[in-house]
Homo-oligomer: A and B are copies of this chain.
């Protein structure tokens, strides 16, 4: 254990509180005293004990981020943005993984595990609308993603329907009419999962373009891993259904699909155009480079941290929960016939929505 304020106080010949005042840059400390204390701090190599400070203040300066799996590109990139945003505000980020396990997600909410943190950013993968009441937890919580709506917490999500619709519209604009979907969810009923929302956007775009809906083109694929994208693509090719474009509900599926198309000798984008969702870094470097929906990840991270900090600093009255969706954009790349990557910003609802 390093030296404490008491050690510094003894060396400098002052009281502990004076040391504390110097450390906390309190105004009314005489210059001479200050420099004596600073010298002692330097001499002893004193560092404030944040645990003790945390006990006094009730704050730790650390927030938790709980995601399904940090290896998934989307979450790695999200974590990166969140760590940066938190760092700018002087906060550390403790990362936890649920591995897409419902029990683990419940544990996270129960605060059963580590709670030496000021708040939680939570991106659930198995909890659903029916678990909404579990979100009423006794600590600051901001929800990420689209599995639960209308809960008692702040919620940062994306324009799933309209951005999916814009993606499909982009395929229509490059002349496609038989557009397959990869990544639908087995459950027939339309729910509030992102897969269902994105499929809804797909149907809206078809309607708007006057293209009939063909259920054979909507392929069930879960979970959204690369191999599943490839597998679903192979099945679709084998099924003999005619199609000239693919809308993959995330980039990872799309990259798997690119692989399967490559294996089968199908040219992209000549024979089949492909667009993904998430705009992960890798989309830029795939062969061919992958067009995608950019959901505004950096903004999502910044807003999420801001909301959480707001909640942490909230005194008495709790303001009502907010739901925020950043702007999205369609990134046109080779897989839909745009050789030079060009980022185009679209927005169906001018500015950050607040609901």
Contacts and interface: CB of A to CB of B under 8 A. Distances in A.
Interface residues of A, number: 82
Contacts of A62: 62, 94, 114, 116
A222 B61 contact: no
A84 B223 CA distance: 21
A51 B352 contact: no
Contacts of A239: 353
Contact of A350 (B69, B228, B241): B228
Interface in A10-36: none
The 7 A-B residue pairs whose C-beta atoms are closest, nearest first, are A215-B355, A218-B354, A50-B116, A232-B351, A235-B351, A76-B76, A92-B114
6 contacts: A61-B116, A92-B96, A93-B95, A232-B351, A256-B285, A259-B286
Interface of A: 1-2, 45, 47, 49-52, 54-55, 58, 60-62, 69-71, 73, 76-77, 79-80, 83-84, 87, 92-97, 111, 113-116, 138, 184, 186, 188, 215-223, 226-228, 230-232, 234-236, 239, 241, 255-256, 258-259, 262-263, 281-282, 285-287, 344-347, 349-355
